[in-house]
Amino acid sequence: MTLQINPFILVDGTASEAIAFYQEALGATLLFKQTVGEGPHNPDSPMTEQEKARIAHSVLLVGETKFFVADQELNQPLTHGNGITICITVDTTEEAQQLYDSLKAGGTVDIELAPAYFSPAFGMVTDKFGVCFQVFTKRPQ
C-alpha cells in the first residue's frame, strides 16, 4: 500500500491570493489549478462570474511536498482553528528566518522565531489566511 498525506488549505474566496502568497513566501510551484467554472456544473443552477472564478482545486509543490489550496464551497461554513498546523523543516537558521518572515506578513506571530532546546530556530505564525505554520530548523549533525 502506498499512502500519501497532503495538507489541504481551504479559504473563503481568497484562494487565488493565497496561491500567489505561497508562491512568494515559500517558493511554491503551481502544478495545477482549476476554477469552479472550469469544472462540471448543473445548467439548472446558473453561477455568477464571481462564483465561477473561485478555485475548485490547486496543487502546489514546495520542496518534495505537494499541498492543495481551494476556496471553501459556498454552502459550507468555514471555521478557523489551530488543531492542524503545517510544519516546515529546514536545514539552516537563515532559511528558517526567511520563511518565518515571509509567512508572518499580514498574519500574526504565535511564537517568535528563536533557539529552542530542540531546534536552533523554531517559531510559529498564523498567516493572513488563518493557516498556522511551524518553522523548525534541524539540529546540525
Does residue 2 fall inside a structural domain? Answer: no
The predicted model gives 3-21 an average pLDDT of 90
Query: What phi, psi does 68 have (nearest 5°)?
Result: -115, 145
Give the Cα separation of 128 and 77 in Å (integer): 18
Asked if residue 12 and residue 64 are part of one domain, the reply reads yes
Residue 1 lies in a domain: no
> pLDDT tens across 15-54, in order?
999 999 999 999 999 999 999 999 888 889 899 999 999 9
Domain of residue 109 covers: 86-137
Give domain status of residue 80, yes or no: no
Domain shared by 16 and 64, yes or no: yes
What string of DSSP letters covers 89-114?
A: EESSHHHHHHHHHHHHTTSEEEEEEE
76 found inside a domain? no
**36 CB-near residues (< 8 Å, 6+ apart):** 47, 51, 52, 53, 54, 55, 56, 71
Amino acid 117: pLDDT: 86
Beta strands in 37-107 (DSSP E): 55-62, 65-71, 86-90
The last residue of a domain, from among 71, 98, 126: 71
- Inside any domain, residue 113: yes
Residue 140: the pLDDT is: 77
What per-residue confidence (pLDDT) applies to 84? 74
Check whether 82 has a pLDDT greater than 70: no
Task: Indicate if 53 and 28 belong to the same structural domain.
Answer: yes
Q: Which residues is 61 bridged to in the sheet?
A: 29, 66
Q: How many domains does the chain have?
A: 2
Say yes or no to pLDDT of 86 above 70.
Answer: yes
**According to the model, what pLDDT value does residue 5 have?**
78
Per-residue confidence (pLDDT) for residue 36, from 0 to 100: 92
pLDDT of residue 41: 82
Q: What is the band of 2 on the pLDDT scale with cuts at 50, 70, 90?
A: low
Q: What's the CATH code of the domain at 61?
A: 3.10.180.10
Residue 99 has pLDDT above 80, yes or no: yes
